Structure 1
């Protein structure tokens, strides 16, 4: 609220507050979480169809290139876990409730509600890593460390966060909204980014308040330590205002004070009758809120960025010994998600709220068993044995106690030495959580192994079960490496009406992948982490489903791309094998006499059969046979028999109807 009011009212209307700057040739400390959201939302990327990750990667890369063209050295700092004092619990809870309503409204009405797609943060981190941009993840909130590092290096901060309007930053703040990185200019041989710089001195001069009262202003405007009784600050706004604003009134009221203490005492007097105890509590809360804007003399981030020195973990008694030492470096490098700290320290897991209709069950339910395995790894035998998940039921926010899974291989592993555990055991934990045998993945490229394993898991767990078109779209989307550039062949997804069933199904898949990646991180990457922007595009798979539903053909997407055809073949084989084995197990257990309903993979089986019958291209047939021969090593006996049976049928059909195969598109396009 504070930043919106300052930016939209005072700061935008007053040239004395901002100073025009040609920024180049310097260090720049970047508020990573703020940049992540603003780059995505300000670029007009899709928010409701599961994310435009390839386009987002492109935006991030252009941003970094612009900085480097201007000889700007970026240092990106990310938030980590939640503050262990729980001072922000009420604020975070209210934000979660608001997101549930916004996510439902986006699904029901198709409106843009600034809901970040589920894998956008991972794309942001992976892209910065690929571009070798220095990144640090704090153990808690990053604001104080960002301000301290900027103070040490005498360089500005890039952010839109309201806190940086209060910190006394020697080189000032560069608000992202005024940082024109897409319009790099040149003066002589030097390129620069035109932007505006904010400094607290200009703010205080313009509003005629003492510089050391800025933290008092922030604390009285609203802080996380104490909820003040509603004070009508608007009454102190200048006369003649059509709509007096409380923050403007607060700034005018502060002009009469020289010291923070006297301002706080006077503020207590405006709150009406308070007991002595209540006054002391309010005063303490305000003092703690003000203290957050005192910049420490040094930041551990400086030594981390320059010398890769592992940052020390905060010495807080209640969390002592809960985070093993080996985790500190991957946490600082953002190779471990900050949510891990919430599980270890607070026994709590905040869950995301994707765009989804409130009538649907929470998409997070599908991946809960994966998280339970992670909780078992993180908590071991420790008590309590449950983790509190913040999730939704309908349009209501619920705090649900979830039991951790602690059985099998996990019982032989100890968190303090997990990094030294046998790689085969760590892989076993991951694949057992997904219910997929290792041998079935060996024929896949490394980048596809985790996504395909997740797809097998999703098929068994998703509710309602995904239909054949959803599965086919997903596998085809995983097949085509550069999905973003393939979108030209289809209609833009954001012009289509949102299909809430498709949204819900792919939300479940993305959350299964997200939680599996997080479990994979804790286990020390037994499988390669898939590069999301080059693997999955939410808008693209939505388009594929739409094209299939409206009777369109997809064959042109793989035209003349035999490697993509082979990838698709291999994934279909593996998913089919998994499905038939799981179905067989289920049938033996249930011993039911009722006929099974048609499942998504029945249609994919037909695709596989066509692969061996509809081509007279001998070179393609040879390649297809080679692919099947390789897969025979995985004991896919049922599919091998399909090949033999339908190859005989193919010979007969060629003799009887030779023109049949000529009418089909060549190069394996019939399998889609």
Structure 2
């Protein structure tokens, strides 16, 4: 929820207290934090090339190191499933984000993207949770929006709230609200962080407003649930010298402060104030405003159809919150991608993986299986059905299936064989499976192997390892920035990210049959785009020595065993996609049946990791 322009009004009127934060607990809105850290980093982190996750990790770690130095104990709350009551608002925001993504995608590398034009790369939330686990920072993924639990925990622990969500100006927070824009953690001095503390009591005192009416103010001023269209009535009554939006807020507050509330309890006060505000602009009462008000008065923790053991996994970050959307709302709304919008969405590359994820959750077993056309296929179908049914029994009975069986389901989804991974470090096993799946369905002609090798060199790169010629060369390339922008290369990399994200979540759903990877070090968009050149690849390969060279050769063998045997592209199996993106940005899956007796692609099966069809 958000009340637009309210922060500007508060800043202009100095309705805050300048404080120094130290030796305290701090309730943090996790989504607000990772958005803010990614967008406000200096130097600015990449949004055009799929993201700079190593750079993001550095920023996050520096933030929490500052809190530690100031003896501030953070408690992080992350959003889960979205509130169905604000679906229209989310669709509107998504369309706005898509327009920003188009702007970023079409802006030339040498030009500056317009201010405020930000789109979060697809793996940021996953990387953020990974860092929280690694650092041992207390956090919780909520089943729905985090606001109710943030407010409850802040008042229980007697801590201020740190966020960018302007709804925290409305909630009754006993220790106040710190806006991230005014939380100057990079200007720490003497173990203290300069900040501006807002309290609702100071705001209400300034406008002579009964605090019980703050939810009414928010509901008619405009939030994610309601807005009162007043045709300028409130703005015309304001004496403020500010812009129209400020005048309107000021007029609403002045009007509410004059409502006669004598002898009424808080609930009656809100009813009378809302009724008079609606009458003032000639509107009839409706449930929309009452629902909006209730979100502030009694913020409810959402319920879910998920079994308790699954909810627990979500809360501790071992399972993606996407399961909530799929099970409770029968839909998924993946992050907006910065890509060429004239082409098919890069999410189509991950369709077969997402299909397994979705169908396992919705119990549509048949949709996972091929059509019967022979005894051999019938046996295969029964074998797959057996696997899936056992996984479903895990879902209902909360009893883990054997790891080997869960691993085979993962292999089936990605059409890979993990037995070929014995020479691959545990942290790279899942990314390598993803890379094999992605590479064997990549349509990029002769450029495919160059893009693959750039990605694999990124896997080998480890800035935390002892510095050598290879690491120095990779750092130099990253610092040079992208001066060889290639749209088809960008498309290939964003497709890999989509496959990686969905595979990561499928692995979580299957209780991690493959080790969880360190996503933060896997992908640095500007570096990989700089590397995606045959001459650069050859130049960097020459700097590899010892274990890193051996790892790189192993990765190449597993990911592309036919390299050097002619056209490796001819042996790829193209996975058909039936993803349909609806106008509101949500993904719906439809089953497309193959025509029996139709033309079949004659493809050699790979002997190593890829199983083929």
Instruction: Return the match for 2:248 from 216, 233, 246.
Output: 246
> Which residue of 1 is the match for residue 12 of structure 2?
13
Relative to structure 1, the CA distance from residue 209 to residue 496 in structure 2 (aligned partners, 3 Å threshold; closer, same or farther) is farther
1:263 paired with 2:266, answer no
Alignment of 1:161-200 (within 5 A): 161-186=165-190, 191-200=191-200
> Which residue of 1 is the match for residue 204 of structure 2?
204
**Unaligned stretches of 5+ in structure 2?**
262-268, 369-383, 465-470, 575-597
Q: Is the 8 A contact 2:162 2:177 kept in 1?
A: yes
Deviates more, 1:407-416 or 1:241-250: 241-250
Deviates more, 1:136-145 or 1:250-259: 250-259
Q: Is the 8 A contact 2:481 2:527 kept in 1?
A: no
Relative to structure 1, the CA distance from residue 268 to residue 560 in structure 2 (aligned partners, 3 Å threshold; closer, same or farther) is closer
Q: What do you get for the CA RMSD once the two structures are aligned? A: 3.1
Alpha-carbon distance in structure 1 between the residues aligned to 2:490 and 2:539: 24
Relative to structure 1, the CA distance from residue 153 to residue 88 in structure 2 (aligned partners, 3 Å threshold; closer, same or farther) is same
Output the TM-score relative to the length of structure 1.
0.74
> Which residue of 2 is the match for residue 473 of structure 1?
454
Q: CA deviation at 1:501?
A: 1.7
> Which residue of 2 is the match for residue 570 of structure 1?
554
> Which residue of 1 is the match for residue 463 of structure 2?
482
Q: CA deviation at 1:146?
A: 0.1
Q: Is the 8 A contact 1:18 1:199 kept in 2?
A: yes
Deviates more, 1:410-419 or 1:238-247: 238-247
Deviates more, 1:348-357 or 1:255-264: 255-264
Q: CA deviation at 1:249?
A: 2.4
**How many residues get paired?**
541
Relative to structure 1, the CA distance from residue 508 to residue 480 in structure 2 (aligned partners, 3 Å threshold; closer, same or farther) is same
Q: CA deviation at 1:261?
A: 2.2
Alpha-carbon distance in structure 2 between the residues aligned to 1:497 and 1:248: 51
SS at match of 1:74: strand
Deviates more, 1:516-525 or 1:112-121: 112-121
CA deviation digits over 1:601-627, x for unaligned, max 9? Answer: 9xxxxxxxxxxxxxxxxxxxxxxxxxx
> Which residue of 2 is the match for residue 336 of structure 1?
319
Q: Is the 8 A contact 1:41 1:114 kept in 2?
A: yes
**Unaligned stretches of 5+ in structure 1?**
300-312, 387-405, 602-631, 637-672
CA deviation digits over 1:291-321, x for unaligned, max 9? Answer: 211257xx9xxxxxxxxxxxxx955xxx5xx
Q: CA deviation at 1:6?
A: 2.3
> Which residue of 1 is the match for residue 161 of structure 2?
157
Alpha-carbon distance in structure 1 between the residues aligned to 2:386 and 2:359: 11
Q: Is the 8 A contact 1:418 1:523 kept in 2?
A: no
> Which residue of 1 is the match for residue 72 of structure 2?
72
Q: CA deviation at 1:230?
A: 4.8
Relative to structure 1, the CA distance from residue 241 to residue 180 in structure 2 (aligned partners, 3 Å threshold; closer, same or farther) is closer
Instruction: Return the match for 1:368 from 328, 341, 351.
Output: 351
Q: CA deviation at 1:460?
A: 2.4
Q: Which has the higher contact order (CA 8 A, sep 6+)?
A: 2
> Which residue of 2 is the match for residue 105 of structure 1?
103
SS at match of 1:82: coil
Q: CA deviation at 1:553?
A: 5.8
Relative to structure 1, the CA distance from residue 13 to residue 241 in structure 2 (aligned partners, 3 Å threshold; closer, same or farther) is closer
> Which residue of 2 is the match for residue 45 of structure 1?
45
Q: Is the 8 A contact 2:220 2:227 kept in 1?
A: no
Q: CA deviation at 1:472?
A: 1.6
Instruction: Return the match for 2:288 from 272, 285, 288.
Output: 285
Relative to structure 1, the CA distance from residue 27 to residue 242 in structure 2 (aligned partners, 3 Å threshold; closer, same or farther) is closer
> Which residue of 1 is the match for residue 331 of structure 2?
348
CA deviation digits over 1:231-253, x for unaligned, max 9? Answer: 42322221765646322322232
> Which residue of 2 is the match for residue 213 of structure 1?
213
Computing the radius of gyration over CA atoms, which structure comes out larger, 1 or 2? Answer: 1
1:532 paired with 2:519, answer yes
Q: CA deviation at 1:377?
A: 1.5
Q: Is the 8 A contact 1:475 1:568 kept in 2?
A: yes
Relative to structure 1, the CA distance from residue 369 to residue 578 in structure 2 (aligned partners, 3 Å threshold; closer, same or farther) is farther
Relative to structure 1, the CA distance from residue 265 to residue 635 in structure 2 (aligned partners, 3 Å threshold; closer, same or farther) is closer
